[in-house]
Amino acid sequence: MSIMEWENDSEIQIFREYLRIPTVHPNIDYTACVEFLKRQAASIGLPVDVVYPVNDANPVVVMKWLGKQPELPSIVLNSHTDVVPVFPDMWTHEPFSADMDDEGRIYARGAQDMKCVGTQYLAAVRALKASGYQPKRTVYLTFVPDEEVGGVLGMLELVKQDYFKSLNVGFSFDEAITSEDEAYSIYYGERTLWHLKFKISGTAGHGSLLLPNTAGVKLQYILNKMMEFGASQIKILEQNSNMDVGDVTTVNLTKLSGGVQSNVVPPLLELVFDIRIAITVDLAAFEQQIRDWCEEAGGGIELEFERKNPFIAPTKIDASNPFWVAYKKTLDDLGLKTRIQVCPGATDSRFIRQLGVPALGFSPINRTPILIHDHDEFLRADTYLEGIQIFKKLISAVANV
């Protein structure tokens, strides 16, 4: 297709309109976004609810496509409406202009993460409904806020409420990552996130003295142990080409603080680590190992979990899960190469899976540079349109399980 054909394509126009709504952190005003989604629901002929799990500033938009057998557990097509901040000076196109170049590259924050998926769901449902198709199961399209900052004001609270329980969800779609090669990523689980602070106490005094058991010495021991563990995970990846970062535990130092003056040995130093724990790790044993290191360092170290997510079982990807069987068969029948992965970060699927509901993450973006959260984020128009065709097949297959 040419740029003129892309620009005149109604689905591309809808996508670009969505991208131009600056639902960007911090202090997002979702008003224009909600009105856009209401218009989309009306154009397709879907009833729509706007619910507020936490407060009026963070709405969740839910569209309902009634199934032939609404008593069956439903299907959720989930996407988030918020996007991360931008540094406009680092972009070659205005971040919320949705400019399209002659090659069909559409530049905007959210082009890959994940406004594309939200409007691709809409396009797929629009086409299926227009063809006269009605799914066996009821399908809900959920557009949630706050995912990019933890989902605390969005999906985390939504799943706790009677409204969500009334949806009777049996399976959920959500996002994955952009692929630079031809294989599409499918996420079936997520690592466990800990943000762990070490509050390291030690002997204080004058900087000229040889003091025993200082916080600095203990800090060095802990830092070495944590970094050695991180290095061991890198080695595991190097030795097994079939694994990726989602299959190991990552440990990264993110904060180091303490001290009051250059000639005063401080009584307290603090380290904070971002830890993403592989689904194969025993969390209790891992925590005990860290506590043992604290004792080996000399004691006097308090652990404070700024965030300590629980283990959430991954979605089963075998014959015991009929949704997975239909999902994978559809992609295989389309001749698409796939890469089954554990998500290295976090998505709203974790809150769905915590309820015991299976969820898979998939963004139909391949052969594209990974620009999620980066400058000059873009998605090609032809990739976007191809993704709609994939979702038409996926949604109809899964909704008929």
Active site residue 113: no
Question: Hey, what's the torsion of the CAs at 60, 63, 66, 69, to 10 degrees?
Answer: -30
List 82, 146, 175, 348, catalytic entry: 82
Active site residue 332: no
List 147, 157, 247, 348, catalytic entry: 147
State the amino acid at position 312 in one-letter form.
Answer: I
- Which positions are catalytic? 82, 147
